Amino acid sequence: MRIVREIEIEGKEAVALFDSGSFHTYVVKGLFHDVPVHLISIAPYKVAIGGREIIVTESCIVRGKIEGLAFHTEATPIDSLGKIDGKPLDAIIGAITMEEWEIKLDPKSDALDLEGLRKREFVEY
């Protein structure tokens, strides 16, 4: 399942694909300048995105807002993600981020269920 929404990442407007089929979150490098980017501590790995293969070597923590609700997440910085619905895609919000913030996709109504992000109460153990 996937839904496209305009969100905010590091204070900038961004077109994001919420994709339950994508495990990780990816953000176009042009959306952040002062965010520290770190080399991953494990061996690099390959990921297929939009018909091309990339080798993941870096990671960062980005801050954002979805409908005014703040979140942060680990993301893989990427040069470009192509287009969706004729617009440049700035981010893919993957399953890890959606699970962490309890964001659910409702494909019937093409909506995001943000109740978990709204209540900001999580049970860890």
pLDDT score at 53: 93
Region for 51 from its dihedrals, namely left if φ exceeds 0, alpha if ψ lies in -120 to 50, beta otherwise: left
3-class DSSP state of 41 = coil
The helix or strand, by DSSP H or E, that contains position 124, with its residue range, turns out to be none
Show the domain range for 113: 2-119
The tens digit of pLDDT for each residue in 6-46 reads 999 999 999 999 999 999 999 999 998 889 899 987 889 99
Would you say residue 124 lies in a domain? Answer: no
Would you say residue 125 lies in a domain? Answer: no
Instruction: Could you list the beta-strand ranges (E) of the chain.
Output: 2-9, 12-19, 26-28, 37-39, 45-49, 52-56, 58-66, 69-78, 83-84, 87-88, 91-93, 104-106, 111-113
Is 1 a residue whose pLDDT tops 80?
no
**Structural domain count, the chain:** 1
> For the domain that residue 14 is a member of, what is the CATH number?
2.40.70.10
3-class DSSP state of 118 = helix
Q: Rounded to an integer, what distance in angstroms lies between the CA atom of residue 90 and that of residue 28?
A: 5
pLDDT score at 13: 96
- The model's pTM is 0.92
The tens digit of pLDDT for each residue in 52-103 reads 899 999 999 999 999 999 999 999 999 999 888 888 999 999 999 999 999 9
